Structure 1
């Protein structure tokens, strides 16, 4: 493999890893607060693409207005899911909340099939993202550069929110001990809803960039990316924001380079993520940056 070809594949790996990282942050934020894996996260990611799709084609919005509206609606959807499906079960056994999360996932998928039709739809891609940049003999789509930049900017904004604001302080307090945080005056319900909203908006941004990179949307498009982003969060240490980003980059780069160096194994590209998950659980169950958390009795 020539250096130019390697750099092109590496750039694609960084781009894909950035998408995994951005969506994995939503998983890790919710887990950090509730110790809950929100398996509907991939389907919330899918809903954002449909919001943007119909905003552009049905309501004739400019793409940037449609994207903003889609992000806001997806954040509200995440808050609605938390209030309707998770809040009533907050004091129930964990298995009940897990079943509820799986139920919400199937509900969104099948509702999308009924409302939006199950056939794939071409996602409108503005020229600003579709243009190709030539660097020597390397041709890279402009979006490949935009995605990592957006991910890094959002990561720093999120870290600032969590570490330097009152809302972030409340999130950290609730993640440590909900009962004590409530006694100290923290509005636990609002904090959890806020976390779901932020996580869903990040999933929306990831979903929109995913649809721009792979411009075809359909109701089940969030299933495999959702699972892979969950794996990325586990690899990095679920509950740790920086770890989720590291896990996303490792998974994305690993997938692309696997196909590049071993094209005969391209059919096992999805299996690579699950093999990596098994290895992480066997040798470092807490992930790269995760910490052991004692279960409450």
Structure 2
């Protein structure tokens, strides 16, 4: 029993850390622009494909990649996806910045479909085997099994989340971004480069999403052009659950969602005597989204500031 609990806890932490990286991208964009970037799930997918491409260019065959090549591919891939995110913002979102909220959201849906279709044309629609970025070693811990892949994912994800915390709360760039998130007109009057701050958000958000995509593909050993659809929606659910616009809320919501998913799918076959199985894990995720919207639309750490229950961050 204890071994199973340890194993399921590590599973939930692993999945939750990946969800958190993606959810942070959603919440950062909303915190600054009050916009839901529905193309963010495709940044997750692009991370895996760009890393695979970079790895192929570096060593030719991805199967025998060493630690240096894997690390270089990871860093180069997330940087390139961050640059792509900035380009998408300049082309598809910036011209619509002063339009209604619906316009950039529709534009993001168009970007999402374009990216998926583009990858399907260039790389094919079929699933592709993805190499593990960590050595596959299993450890027995009090009756449970923990893999080195899970440990590597947790270390990488928490390092990135700590880096984001430092960037937002302890750096000059973070001060500028937080000022723009409070009030763009006031920040502009104070001489702050608003466009530069927004570009930074669209660089860091896709960068984190790409890192999540690489870790996810490395964990499951496969990537597909549509992999960002469901995972992106789950990360969006996590951001809503924690309070979209709040960075701590996005991380909290991601881990809560992961624990509910993993715990629920482990218990469902037992409680229902096999009637409901692990295939219902996605149902649990979106049932949580519905419940949160019905009970607390602002999320756990969000704050409703208008009659329409507009979510506002309590701490960016």
TM-score by length of 1: 0.95
Residue among 224, 245, 248 paired with 2:254: 248
Structural mapping, 1:157-236, within 5 Å: 157-236=163-242
SS of the residue corresponding to residue 139 of structure 1 reads strand
Measure the CA separation in 2 of the matches of 1:67 and 1:11: 23
Match of 1:283 in 2: 295
Q: Which of 4-13 and 233-242 deviates more? A: 4-13
Measure the CA separation in 1 of the matches of 2:288 and 2:131: 34
Match of 1:26 in 2: 25
Structural mapping, 1:1-297, within 5 Å: 2-60=1-59, 62-126=69-133, 128-263=134-269, 264-294=276-306
- Compared CA separation, residues 152 and 188, structure 1 to 2 (3 A): same
Q: Which runs of 5+ in 1 are unaligned?
A: none
CA contact 2:239–2:254 (8 Å) conserved in 1: yes
CA contact 2:21–2:212 (8 Å) conserved in 1: yes
Whose RCO is larger (CA < 8 A, sep 6+)?
1
Report the count of equivalent residues. 293
CA contact 1:48–1:207 (8 Å) conserved in 2: yes
TM-aligned CA deviation for residue 156 of structure 1: 2.3
- Compared CA separation, residues 215 and 103, structure 1 to 2 (3 A): same
CA contact 1:236–1:246 (8 Å) conserved in 2: yes
Q: Which runs of 5+ in 2 are unaligned?
A: 61-68, 270-275, 311-316
CA offset digits 1:247-279 (Å, max 9, x no partner): 000011110111111122422110111110111
TM-score by length of 2: 0.89
TM-aligned CA deviation for residue 4 of structure 1: 1.0
CA contact 1:44–1:204 (8 Å) conserved in 2: yes
CA contact 1:258–1:265 (8 Å) conserved in 2: no
CA contact 2:241–2:299 (8 Å) conserved in 1: yes
TM-aligned CA deviation for residue 218 of structure 1: 1.0
Measure the CA separation in 1 of the matches of 2:132 and 2:291: 38
CA contact 2:2–2:142 (8 Å) conserved in 1: no
TM-aligned CA deviation for residue 240 of structure 1: 0.2
Measure the CA separation in 2 of the matches of 1:3 and 1:105: 43
Measure the CA separation in 2 of the matches of 1:163 and 1:214: 33
TM-aligned CA deviation for residue 58 of structure 1: 4.0
SS of the residue corresponding to residue 222 of structure 1 reads helix
SS of the residue corresponding to residue 286 of structure 1 reads coil
Measure the CA separation in 2 of the matches of 1:176 and 1:269: 37
